[in-house]
Amino acid sequence: MKHTKVKDLLKSATTLQDVNAKGWVRTFRNNQFIALNDGSTIHNIQCVVDFENTPEETLKRITTGAAISVIGTLVESKGAGQKYEIQVAKLEILGDSDAEKFPMQPKKHSLEFLRENAHLRVRTNAFGAIMRVRSVLSYAVHNYFHEKGFVYVNTPIITGSDAEGAGEMFKVTALPFDNPPRTEEGEVNYKEDFFGKETNLTVSGQLEGETFAMALGQIYTFGPTFRAENSNTSRHLAEFWMIEPEVAFNDLDDNMDLAEDFIQYVIKYTLDKCQDDLKFLETRLLDEEKSKPQAERSEMSLLEKLNFVLDNNFKRVSYTEAIDILKNSTPNKKKKFQFIIEEWGADLQSEHERYLVEKHFKCPVILYDYPANIKAFYMRLNEDGKTVRAMDILFPGIGEIVGGSQREERYEVLVEKMKALGIDEEELWWYLDTRRFGSAVHSGFGLGFERLVLFVTGMTNIRDVIPFPRTPGNAEF
Ligand code: 4AD
Ligand code: MG
């Protein structure tokens, strides 16, 4: 007999004979009521067991976490909160779960505890909802770009270059760890390695993406990227997913338009498709807010926050304007932001970004035209000779969600810049070819997928929106 998803049973137009549901027991009350979840929806279906005619042995095995199959009748439920329930005629235990040992007890667990059980936390309501929302968001990403005629490009994960020039890379090697071949100077000799050179896990698919944009016009990547930065924050992962569109003939303004339209589309799509999960996450958040002092509570609920982003344009502000705002603001009543007063050209810290977004503009902000010296080598130099056509999108509660730019399309200027930064031209000969042959204005950006999932789910730690988070000291699973 084919089983039916709980989601479909709960949506059924009529009561039904002989339905089969399979899933995992969340709770079992009064030797009679099973709350069954199969992952297809946040909602459990109540299965009512005929305990008088069910062997004691079987009843004992209906424990939290057990996998079961029930066959019965879908009837209208008298209980509050659910339209239907299953009157069970036949129950089969598919996989036992030792109630004493099963870590996901039917009570509220701390997020820290759940992280240590990343393989089981997805069996909780919150993580089930988060992972379904994540899945729908990624579908929305592909949908958006395909509707617009972008080509999806799979850029390599193992690379021979450093796309961001920041040096925060994981090495890839097949050399013996204990006793690698060495040069006469005693250095590890990567010439004898698998690829005949030093290689790394990619930090970004941008450079390869640019070469494809200069042939296919509009492309995007969506894949895992890796950063060996030792930042133990709630916004950084060592392995995260990035979406990187790149478009030939787009300038920085077009790039901002694309980013804004894209973000609004995927949020709208997910709001439409994940109503139950988002409502659940909103309620969860409201409960959490109640335990905070009034002043720290969020002014908007999760759904209000998401709708706000859809209904309001992102505020576009140049770096120089932002610095002026920060210079004249007093975030802590008396104290001003210190460092900024000292020099134009400093990088913004997350407290500055958050001030701009959460206190000053109170909406998503696109900061552009940053000082050249704090941004990557490939960004288009402005006519002032000191700023580049960079843009960062800052989101409330998140900070930077997007980093992008118009690219330096002029061969000489790019080479000059690389020389100044000590970036090896020989290594990037293939990248420079895009500027040698048919170069043109082009732009793109990278959106950190987990930061988007954070925003949409209202979660606050990036470790809670990716199935198996990798952070410094953590690669258990
Ligand atoms: O600002 P980033 O470093 O930009 C790039 O990599 C460009 N090559 C993108 C492009 O223009 N094609 O990273 C882009 C975004 C950030 O804005 C942030 O959302 C996310 O990637 N990000 C991280 N997310 C989680 N953990 C980390 N360690 C992240 N580092 C960056
Ligand atoms: Mg950045």
Among 348, 451, 474, the mutation site with the greatest number of ligand 1 atoms within 8 A of its Cβ is 451
With 80 as the cut, is the pLDDT of residue 422 above it? yes
Both 277 and 320 in one domain: the answer is: yes
Work out which ligand 1 atom sits closest to the CA atom of 238. 28
Q: Are residues 82 and 228 in the same domain?
A: no
How many whole angstroms from 179 Cα to the centroid of ligand 2?
Answer: 37
Question: What pLDDT was estimated at residue 107?
Answer: 87
- Nearest ligand (C-alpha, residue 399): 1
Q: Are residues 163 and 86 in the same domain?
A: no
Name which residue leads in pLDDT, 453 or 295: 453
What would the two tokens of residue 211 be? 């070469």
Is residue 406 domain-resident?
A: yes
Instruction: Name, in order, each residue with C-beta under 8 angstroms of 361's C-beta and a sequence gap of 6 or more.
Output: 315, 317
Same domain, 160 and 90: no
Residue 471, pLDDT above cutoff 90: yes
pLDDT digits (tens, 9 = 90+) for 101-119: 999 998 889 999 999 999 9
C-alpha pair distances (Å), 167 with each of 309, 405, 407: 34, 20, 20
Residue 396 belongs to a domain: yes
108: in domain: no
CA 171–ligand 2 middle distance (angstroms): 21
The token duo for 455 is: 């925003």
The answer to whether position 1 is within a domain reads: no
Q: What is the pLDDT of residue 8?
A: 97
pLDDT value at position 411? 98
Residues 42 and 161 in one domain: no
Which one, of 89, 15, 17, lies nearest residue 47 by Cα? 89
User: Same domain, yes or no, for 351 and 383?
Assistant: yes
Ligand nearest to the CA of 259: 1
Confidence check: pLDDT of 269 > 70: yes
Predicted local distance difference test score (pLDDT) of residue 95: 98
User: What is the pLDDT, as a whole number, of residue 243?
Assistant: 98
How far, in Å, are 107, 215, 449 from residue 246 at the CA level?
Answer: 46, 11, 16
DSSP three-state, residue 372? helix
For residue 334, what pLDDT band results from cuts at 50, 70 and 90?
low
Residue type, 410: R
Share above pLDDT 90 across residues of the chain, in percent, rounded to a whole number:
84
Does the C-beta of 401 come closer than 6 Å to ligand 1? yes
Q: Are residues 65 and 212 located together in one domain of the fold?
A: no
Least confident of 1-10, 48-57, 164-173, 268-277: 164-173
Residue 248 sits in a domain whose CATH number is 3.30.930.10
Atom of ligand 1 nearest to the CA of 166: 3
Mean pLDDT across 261-284: 98
The 10 Å Cβ neighbour count of residue 334 is 6
Q: Are residues 299 and 225 in the same domain?
A: yes
pLDDT, position 344: 79
CB of 445 closer than 6 angstroms to any ligand 1 atom: yes
Q: What number does the ligand 1 atom closest to the CA of 402 have? A: 17
**Is residue 25 scored above 90 in pLDDT?**
yes
Decide whether any atom of ligand 1 lies within 6 Å of the 435 Cβ: no
Q: Across the chain, what does the average pLDDT equal?
A: 94
Q: How many angstroms separate the CA atoms of 229 and 241, rounded?
A: 15
From ligand 1's centre to the CA of 428, what distance in Å? 21
Atom of ligand 1 nearest to the CA of 404: 11
Nearest listed ligand to the Cα of residue 446: 1
Measure the CA–CA gap between 174 and 294, rounded to whole angstroms.
55
Alpha carbon distance 258, 250 (integer Å): 9
Range of the domain at 452: 125-168+203-464
Please say whether the beta carbons of 281 and 129 come within 8 A: yes
Which SS3 state, helix, strand or coil, does residue 299 take?
coil
- Specify whether 290 is located in the same domain as 409: yes
**Same structural domain for residues 16 and 129?**
no
Give the pLDDT mean for 355-371.
Answer: 95
Q: For residue 402, how far is its CA from the centre of ligand 2 (angstroms)?
A: 7
CATH number of the CATH domain containing 63: 2.40.50.140
Mean pLDDT, rounded, for 320-348: 76
Q: Is residue 194 part of a domain?
A: no
Q: Are strands 16-29 and 33-37 parallel, antiparallel or unpaired?
A: antiparallel
31 has pLDDT over 60: yes
With 80 as the cut, is the pLDDT of residue 14 above it? yes
Q: How confident is the model at residue 78 (pLDDT cuts 50, 70, 90)?
A: confident
Is there a single domain that holds both residue 59 and residue 149? no
Residue 387, amino acid: T
In a domain, 173, yes or no: no
Q: Are residues 215 and 357 in the same domain?
A: yes
244 C-beta closer than 6 A to ligand 1: yes
168, 240, 445, 471, best to mutate for ligand 1 pocket (most atoms within 8 Å of CB): 240
Report the separation in Å between the CA atom of 389 and the middle of ligand 2, taken as the mean of its atom positions: 13
Tens of pLDDT along 144-179? 999 999 999 999 999 998 878 777 899 999 999 999
Q: Are 235 and 228 in contact (CB under 8 A)?
A: no
Select from 44, 68, 102 the last residue of a domain: 102
Residue range 185-230, pLDDT digits in tens:
999 999 999 999 999 999 999 999 999 999 999 999 999 999 998 8
Residue 340's pLDDT band, with cuts at 50, 70 and 90, is low
Instruction: Work out the average pLDDT over 228-254.
Output: 96
If one residue of 137, 201, 204 were mutated to test the ligand 1 pocket, choosing by the most ligand atoms within 8 A of its CB, it would be: 204
- Is any atom of ligand 1 closer than 6 Å to the C-beta of 242? yes
Ligand 1 centre from 204 Cα, in Å?
8
| Ligand 1, atom 31: closest residue by C-alpha | 448
Ligand 1 site, residue 454, Cβ cutoff 6 A: no
93, part of any domain: yes
- Quick one: which of 151, 144, 176, 172 has its CA closest to 160? 172
Q: Is residue 184 part of a domain?
A: no
Residue 336 pLDDT level (bands cut at 50, 70, 90): low
Domain count, the chain: 2
